[in-house]
Amino acid sequence: MNSSLTLCRLCCFQASTFSSCSSSLSVCSKKKPLVFLGSPQVAATVLDSLLSTSSAPDSLFEVAAIVTQPPSRRNRGRNMMPSPVAQYALDRGFSSDLIFTPERAGEDMFLSNLKALQPELCITAAYGNILPSKFLKIPPLGTVNIHPSLLPLYRGAAPVQRALQDGVKETGVSLAFTVRTLDAGPVITCERLEVDDQIKLLLANLRVLCSQAPDLLELLFSEGSKLLIRELPSIFDGSARVKAQLQDDSKATLAPKITPEESWLSFDEEALVLHNKVRAFAGWPGTRAKILVVDKKDGQHKILELKIITTRVCSHNTIAGNGVDEITFAKGALAFPCGGCTALEVLEVQLPGKKVVSATAFWNGLRGYIVIIGHDLLVFSNICLMDESCQLWSIVGLIQHLVYIDSDGSILSIRIRQSPGTNPLKGEARAVRLACDLAADYEGRSIMLEGNSLEVIRQIKDQQATPDWLIEGEITTVRQLLSRHNLWQLNWLPRTANMLAHNVAKWGLLSGSIGDFLSMDVPLALLTCKDFE
């Protein structure tokens, strides 16, 4: 027997030869041989039901073999571990020689060994490999799959996750014959489960809290195993094939595999959409968000990546609708402002490499900081318009901004407020600092400064000068950036920094956005050298 196909060889278990095991099956028992295929922990629930039922003296069948995914590296030690189904079978005393772990279900040696067992029926539950026609032709009674959706809805690899992501009001589990087209075979029976907005499953008269995908997945496979045991007699006598209903392909929906790239939350979407996504992606890959943490005293900032663990939709609109990206805390939850005048309350979070903590514990560690939704943040700066030659100066005065700029150079949002500052050069110094930040982050995008900014650069360049209008502790940083990027070489630098300050102020005035900490999308024209209209 090919050693790559058996768990006993891969994991160094001692066992008798395959031929003696297979021959003993036909001699010792008249029960119908059944082969089970499954891999994750939820499939172990189905295997448990099959093994327990088959152990009864009057059982119609016995589990002749188990097919599962090959051992893989898991846990922090990255050790080679058998699949949860294989481990469960071994713990139950199942012969390691009868646990097959092919890389693909179409491998010739594997199919040869499967034929030797002469299985009457195969059962699949989250196996994880496509079954070719050569496999499907082996069991005379066919292959029956437990699929955690109401087929033909959510055919594919992630039916539970996609159903929760869509916020469905009803879900369920189906028992269906397997055909070559994915999850498209005749349905023997199904079990329906109503789901309310809080993801509490209504099962008979019992309300089961099942807030996220791993919980729902476990429940559906548990119900699916009960369906299977109930229907096995009809499958073995052939009546299940007669009563099975063909699926209406016109009503089919797909449930494609989840990818890690989908895990990022976009707070432009409504809170309910994000809440559903958090529930759907729980476990793996999870949902993530970036936040900007700003020190209230000196403006120093850092970007944190959070894994969002549990959430709820805010039931009131005290935060929603004010256009603010600032994250607040109340009643044990972090409130994230979202699209559509809604807010998402985050109850538990996790920093990379850390344990899951409550929102309360996380917030207590951020005393003295402002917390802001991070978007795709590459640039953070304050700039000020303090040019008395600009007619806007007499109207709007000094403007402070937080500028969020995407990787393609487009501004995502700008937070604006009026400031009581009075020194024009201090404002220009902030503009110089923004120009330095832009140049540092975008190689090839040069910055031109003019007007009072030239005086700022001249004084900064003078190592003997200690301008009192510079922010304390910032002069050294600005000098280093200026030296590195040569911002005073005006002959090759396109205009940006002053025009950016001018345009932001003008845009804010014309759009009615001047106020306390407003945030919204603004045109890319703000980064151009043209006067913003």
Dihedral of CA atoms 332, 334, 338, 343 in degrees, nearest 10, equals: 10
Helix (H, G, I), strand (E, B) or coil at 25: helix
Dihedral of CA atoms 531, 421, 520, 294 in degrees, nearest 10, equals: 130
User: Where are the strands (E) in 258-390, listed by range?
Assistant: 287-295, 301-313, 328-330, 333-338, 342-350, 357-358, 369-373
User: Residue 29 has what pLDDT?
Assistant: 52
Helix (H, G, I), strand (E, B) or coil at 302: strand
Helix (H, G, I), strand (E, B) or coil at 48: helix
Provide the token pair at 275.
Answer: 């809440």
Provide the token pair at 174.
Answer: 């189906």
Q: How would you write the pLDDT of the chain (533 residues) with one tens digit per residue? A: 443 334 443 333 333 334 444 444 444 458 999 999 999 999 999 999 999 999 999 999 999 999 999 999 876 667 889 999 999 999 999 999 999 999 999 999 999 999 999 999 999 999 999 999 999 999 999 999 999 999 999 999 999 999 999 999 899 999 999 999 999 999 999 999 877 655 444 444 444 445 689 989 999 999 999 999 999 999 999 999 999 999 999 999 999 999 988 998 988 789 999 999 999 999 999 999 988 787 777 666 677 889 999 999 987 755 543 345 789 999 899 999 988 889 999 999 999 999 999 999 999 999 888 888 865 433 323 333 333 333 333 333 333 344 444 444 443 333 333 334 444 444 444 544 554 444 444 443 333 333 344 444 455 555 555 554 444 444 455 455 445 443 333 222 233 344 444 444 444 444 444 333 222 333 434 433 333 33
Closest CA to 175 of 256, 243, 85, 77: 243
User: Residue 485 has what pLDDT?
Assistant: 41
Question: Measured between alpha carbons, how far is 71 from 101 in angstroms, rounded to an integer?
Answer: 8
User: Residue 465 has what pLDDT?
Assistant: 55
Query: pTM of the entire structure?
Result: 0.68
Question: Measured between alpha carbons, how far is 143 from 122 in angstroms, rounded to an integer?
Answer: 5
Backbone Cα Rg of the chain: 32
User: Residue 21 has what pLDDT?
Assistant: 43
Closest CA to 175 of 84, 252, 247: 247
C-alpha to C-alpha distances, 80 to 9, 170, 204, nearest whole angstrom: 13, 39, 42
Return the axis-axis angle of helices 475-485 and 424-441, rounded to nearest 10°. 50
Closest CA to 113 of 10, 11, 7, 18: 18
DSSP string covering 357-380 = EEHHHHHHTTTTEEEEE-SS----
User: Residue 291 has what pLDDT?
Assistant: 86
User: Residue 446 has what pLDDT?
Assistant: 34
Closest CA to 386 of 521, 515, 504: 504
Match 């489960």 to its residue by tokens: 193
Question: Measured between alpha carbons, how far is 195 from 50 in angstroms, rounded to an integer?
Answer: 28
Return the axis-axis angle of helices 424-441 and 452-461, rounded to nearest 10°. 80
Domains and CATH numbers, the chain: 32-255 (3.40.50.170), 261-373 (3.10.25.10), 401-442+457-485 (no CATH)
User: Residue 370 has what pLDDT?
Assistant: 82
User: Residue 205 has what pLDDT?
Assistant: 44
Tell me if 38 sits within 8 A of 85, measured CB to CB.
yes
